[in-house]
A = this chain, B = another copy of it.
């Protein structure tokens, strides 16, 4: 019998918008991981300072221990978003740890030191309330048990959805908040009763290091760990981190809920709401976390505390699990409302304990009526509810149906559960080895993903990089306009709007307009005694011909204004006659209605990234090329070079693949080369004339070794234009100390910072961090 709430279901079914809203909602995750050394010992270093003070970074804190990183996502509007958010935070933290440290991927701890050596999280002051609370916990529960780590899943329904329900189903004189309280109590009740199923399906802690605790039927491994025979989740068992006594609560009314907790506090079983370690809690983010303020303001969301880290997933939790928990909570809403009296609660607690420690044996589930139901039957009852309302309300949503199918498989076959898979791996590789391998792979994955912000791949790389830096440093990020790469970053009271990573409030408007206008920029630089290539644009043949005397004796380039291929270009590096000049002008005009005559300045072009008074990065750009090995063809060498995971197409990755198009073929043919030719060992073959990264060019970070004369020149050029954040392109002459022959080609008001963050060669410059430091210093 599928006991769903038919009133709700049929009401929702009438309105497609309502069904859509039901399956949305707000999501937030909190995830803890111990930091671990390569040998598997708890890392005893300090929480990395790049994250700033724990009190101020809302996303990256420590939990009980200084060695226990806590990642907290912002509130997200979908499972997809919260999955991306926790993955991004996990990757950000992984890459910011001290060298060789990794995130321990299991809820159950790694090798930990003696009780007295477990470091309690430190705060800016010794008597910070968070510190005092942790010291209390250390005394009350011991430090060791605090190292159990897990995931908290915070959820609220769409308020618009609840308002529609309220309009339709409110009791007389009932307020919206009272209605909401009742909704969340209903869900909590369902959760408490059926959490054994959630633990069976999501538990990931079947093993622990010997000595951490004692659990029956836990078999020792070769590396001194113990695997609980049919165990699923040590943390959710009585050996986990729980209140000393099970705290039974009245879930039938909000007043009852509040007064039953109040009674536990009065009786001294817990000393505050904060210590109320129920697997589900009703919460309100606008309160001061006291019971009184919750009573006053009512429920805003619910928090699920029963979720284990899943070491099979690089980020600790799968999207499918997130969806399932969501469906589990929706099931609570859509189920018939049964009472959950304190007596029933003990039955639920017993079911939880049984599954946590012996779940793989699929013991029968005790019902509230004290009648046992076979495990499979009990589980299927709930999963079928889910299948049923999914088919009723969102018949086209295959993803959610698949989530339920997977759970049904795990129900039918215990070996398919997360816990069983982990136990198998541990048996195979050892407890430490398996988890350390996972940690290492997870770090490698984070590194491979370093340049992107998962879920924001539609935005520019420089914006994705900035976003990651922002979260790392605890800045709130609001997307003001995705397609325009418009972010607002906030830290405390201060906020800065940033477009395309470098368009900020620091630069004034007219400076940007000046930089946009090459002619004006050159004029202003020249007026300030900074050398720029002298040049003229012409649209009239006659005027162009008359300009000979302006260029006679100089090295010059004459070119059609909008050419791409070098067609129609004449370069005079030595003396040239008036006739040769005029001929070159005519050639250029034969390709375009506008031509440019520009002084040719020999040397290499470098990009200097200036912020304020400082050059934060210098890049040398080299045209697309391959270097021969005497064995492979040019085509093969290009393909080999393109296999670098940082090379992609369409600006989705920091470097672009070298193309094999007409430009490259032409460039080869100009060197009397073909694609199948085999260059000599160490012979460099250029595939492009231009050095742009966007056409497969190489970028080399030379920030540290660049002559300070040129860094000063770049800063001076930016200052002359009053630019704060800009890219300065400088031609450094063949003899770099021949300073007077350097020239500035361009000031770029929208420098592509990701070039510096992920160069082809040389160290990565953390441009996102630099921008934030500059904006918020």
- A: residues with CB less than 8 A from B are 16-17, 20, 160, 480-481, 484, 486, 496-499, 503-514, 517, 519-520, 523, 546, 549, 722, 749
* Minimum C-beta distance from A592 to chain B (A): 19
Distance between Cα atoms of A480 and B519 in the complex (Å): 8
Residues of the B chain whose Cβ atoms lie less than 8 Å from the Cβ of A523: 480
Residues of the B chain whose Cβ atoms lie less than 8 Å from the Cβ of A512: 509
Name the residue on B nearest A721 (C-beta).
Answer: B497
Known: A481-B517, A481-B520, A517-B481. A549 touches B17 (CB 8 A): yes
Name the residue on B nearest A507 (C-beta).
Answer: B509
* Minimum C-beta distance from A131 to chain B (A): 35
Distance between Cα atoms of A393 and B209 in the complex (Å): 103
Q: List 7 A-B contacts (CB under 8 A).
A: A20-B546, A160-B549, A480-B520, A480-B523, A486-B520, A503-B509, A505-B508
* Minimum C-beta distance from A17 to chain B (A): 5
Of A497, A510, A511, A546, most B-chain CB atoms within 10 Å: A510
Q: Are A503's CB and B510's CB within 8 A? A: yes
Residues of the B chain whose Cβ atoms lie less than 8 Å from the Cβ of A486: 513, 517, 520
Residues of the B chain whose Cβ atoms lie less than 8 Å from the Cβ of A160: 549
Name the residue on B nearest A164 (C-beta).
Answer: B549
Distance between Cα atoms of A498 and B520 in the complex (Å): 12
Of A484, A509, A513, A549, most B-chain CB atoms within 10 Å: A509
Residues of the B chain whose Cβ atoms lie less than 8 Å from the Cβ of A484: 513, 517
Q: Are B497's CB and A505's CB within 8 A? A: no
Residues of the B chain whose Cβ atoms lie less than 8 Å from the Cβ of A507: 508-510
Q: Are B514's CB and A497's CB within 8 A? A: yes
Name the residue on B nearest A497 (C-beta).
Answer: B510
Partner of A498, one of B20, B498, B510: B510
- Which 10 pairs from chain A and chain B are nearest by CB? A505-B508, A507-B509, A480-B520, A17-B546, A497-B510, A505-B510, A499-B513, A509-B512, A504-B510, A509-B509
Residues of the B chain whose Cβ atoms lie less than 8 Å from the Cβ of A480: 514, 517, 519-520, 523
Name the residue on B nearest A723 (C-beta).
Answer: B509
* Minimum C-beta distance from A92 to chain B (A): 25
Distance between Cα atoms of A746 and B674 in the complex (Å): 59
Known: A481-B520, A520-B480, A549-B17. A510 touches B514 (CB 8 A): no
Name the residue on B nearest A16 (C-beta).
Answer: B546
Known: A481-B520, A486-B517. A504 touches B497 (CB 8 A): no
Residues of the B chain whose Cβ atoms lie less than 8 Å from the Cβ of A549: 17, 160
Residues of the B chain whose Cβ atoms lie less than 8 Å from the Cβ of A504: 508-510
* Minimum C-beta distance from A44 to chain B (A): 43
Distance between Cα atoms of A486 and B523 in the complex (Å): 13
Distance between Cα atoms of A509 and B546 in the complex (Å): 40
Q: Are B508's CB and A506's CB within 8 A? A: yes
Known: A505-B722, A509-B509, A510-B503. A519 touches B481 (CB 8 A): yes
Name the residue on B nearest A517 (C-beta).
Answer: B481
Known: A517-B481, A520-B481. A499 touches B503 (CB 8 A): no
Further pairs besides A486-B517, A504-B508: 18, Cβ < 8 Å: A17-B549, A480-B519, A481-B517, A484-B513, A484-B517, A486-B513, A486-B520, A496-B510, A497-B510, A497-B514, A499-B510, A499-B513, A503-B509, A505-B510, A506-B508, A506-B509, A507-B510, A508-B509
Distance between Cα atoms of A497 and B510 in the complex (Å): 7
